[in-house]
Structure 1
Amino acid sequence: MRHKVLGYILAAAMLLLAIGIMLAVTPTQASPADATPPHPQTSDGLYASPNERIGVGVALAIADITHYDVSQLEAGWYSEWTTRAAPTHPNGMDYVQLISTDSRLYPPDWDDLLVKIQSNPGSLWLIGNEMEATYQENLTPEQYAPRYHDVYMFIKSVDPTAQVGIGGVILPSPLRLQWLDRVLQAYQTRYGVPMPIDVWTTHMQMVNEVSCSYDPYNCWGAEIPVGISANYGITMTTEDNARYDLFIQLVTAMRTWMNQRGFRNKPLIISEYGVLMPSTYLCAQCGEHPELGDAIVSSFMTRTFQYLLTATDPTIGYPPDGNRLVQRWMWYALNDRPYDFETGEGFNGSLFDYHNLAYPGTLTQFGQVFKDFVSALKVPYIDLAPAGLAAIPAGGGTYTLTAGVTNLGNTSASNITVRLYNGDPAAGGTQIGSDIMIASLGMRYSTPATVQFVWTPPSGVISQTLYVVVDPDNVIGESNKDNNKAGYDLRYLGYPVKILLPVIVKNRP
Structure 2
Amino acid sequence: MMFIILSKSGIHQPKWLLPGLVEVTPNRLEYLDKVWASYLEQFNTPMPVDVWTFHIYVLPEARLDGQGNILGSNASIAVGTECYNNRTATACTNIKWQSGGSSTLCSQNSVYCYAEHDDIGIFVEQIIAMRQWMKAHGHQHKPLLLSEFSLLYPYVVEGNSCFLMDEYQGCFTPTRVNTFMQQVFNYLETAVDPNLGYALDNNRLVQQWLWYSITIESDEEAGSASRLVSLNGNGDPVAFTPMGLMYQSQVASRPLQVNLLPNHASTIAVSGITSATISVDVINNGNKQATSDYTVTFFRDAALKDVIDSVSIPGTLNGCTLEEEVVSVIWKGLVPGVNRFWVRVLSSEDNNPADNVTTGFVIVDPEQTFLPVIFR
Alignment TM-score, normalising by the size of structure 2 = 0.59
Counterparts of 1:427 and 1:257 in 2: how far apart (Å)? 45
Distance 1:378 1:212, change over 3 A: same
> Where does structure 2 lack aligned partners over 5 or more consecutive residues?
98-111, 156-161, 262-283, 319-329, 333-344, 358-376
Q: Which secondary structure state, in structure 2, belongs to the residue aligned with residue 119 of structure 1?
A: coil
Does residue 1:190 correspond to 2:42, yes or no? yes
Match of 2:351 among 466, 475, 479: 479
Counterparts of 1:380 and 1:430 in 2: how far apart (Å)? 28
Spell out the pairing of 1:60-139 with structure 2 (5 A cutoff): 101=2, 117=7, 119=9, 121-122=11-12
Match of 1:370 among 238, 241, 247: 247
Distance 1:186 1:371, change over 3 A: same
Distance 1:316 1:216, change over 3 A: closer
Deviation at 1:368, TM superposition (A): 0.6
Amino acid aligned to 1:293? T
Specify the alignment match of 2:195 in structure 1.
Answer: 315
Amino acid aligned to 1:312? V
Match of 1:234 among 96, 99, 105: 96
Specify the alignment match of 2:104 in structure 1.
Answer: none
Q: What RMSD over aligned residues (CA atoms) do the two structures have, in Å?
A: 4.4
Q: Alpha-carbon deviations, 1:410-455, whole Å to 9, x = none?
A: 6877xx9x9999x999535799xxxxxxxxx99979xxxxxxxxxx
Is 1:282–1:293's contact at 8 Å kept on the other side of the alignment? no
Deviation at 1:212, TM superposition (A): 10
Distance 1:363 1:217, change over 3 A: closer
Deviation at 1:186, TM superposition (A): 0.4
Alignment TM-score, normalising by the size of structure 1 = 0.45
Counterparts of 1:420 and 1:120 in 2: how far apart (Å)? 19
Distance 1:249 1:380, change over 3 A: closer
Counterparts of 1:350 and 1:191 in 2: how far apart (Å)? 42
Is 1:175–1:225's contact at 8 Å kept on the other side of the alignment? yes
Specify the alignment match of 2:67 in structure 1.
Answer: 215
Is 1:382–1:410's contact at 8 Å kept on the other side of the alignment? no
Deviation at 1:345, TM superposition (A): 6.0
Is 2:257–2:350's contact at 8 Å kept on the other side of the alignment? no
Is 1:338–1:350's contact at 8 Å kept on the other side of the alignment? no
Match of 2:151 among 254, 270, 275: 275
Q: Alpha-carbon deviations, 1:194-247, whole Å to 9, x = none?
A: 111111111112111017994269674111111123145112232222111111
Distance 1:313 1:120, change over 3 A: same
Is 2:257–2:351's contact at 8 Å kept on the other side of the alignment? no
Counterparts of 1:205 and 1:370 in 2: how far apart (Å)? 18
Amino acid aligned to 2:306? A
Amino acid aligned to 1:328? Q
Deviation at 1:306, TM superposition (A): 0.7
> Quick one: percent identity of the two aligned structures?
26
Distance 1:117 1:372, change over 3 A: closer
Amino acid aligned to 2:82? S
Specify the alignment match of 1:179 in structure 2.
Answer: 31
Counterparts of 1:175 and 1:420 in 2: how far apart (Å)? 47
Counterparts of 1:478 and 1:383 in 2: how far apart (Å)? 6
Counterparts of 2:76 and 2:202 in 1: how far apart (Å)? 36
> Where does structure 1 lack aligned partners over 5 or more consecutive residues?
1-99, 102-106, 123-160, 385-406, 432-440, 446-462, 466-470, 485-509
Match of 1:263 among 139, 144, 153: 139
Specify the alignment match of 1:14 in structure 2.
Answer: none
Q: Which secondary structure state, in structure 2, belongs to the residue aligned with residue 371 of structure 1?
A: helix
Counterparts of 2:226 and 2:191 in 1: how far apart (Å)? 23
Is 1:321–1:327's contact at 8 Å kept on the other side of the alignment? yes
Distance 1:293 1:377, change over 3 A: same
Which is richer in strand?
A: 2
Q: Alpha-carbon deviations, 1:145-186, whole Å to 9, x = none?
A: xxxxxxxxxxxxxxxx11212111111100100000011100
Counterparts of 1:197 and 1:190 in 2: how far apart (Å)? 16
Match of 2:58 among 184, 202, 206: 206
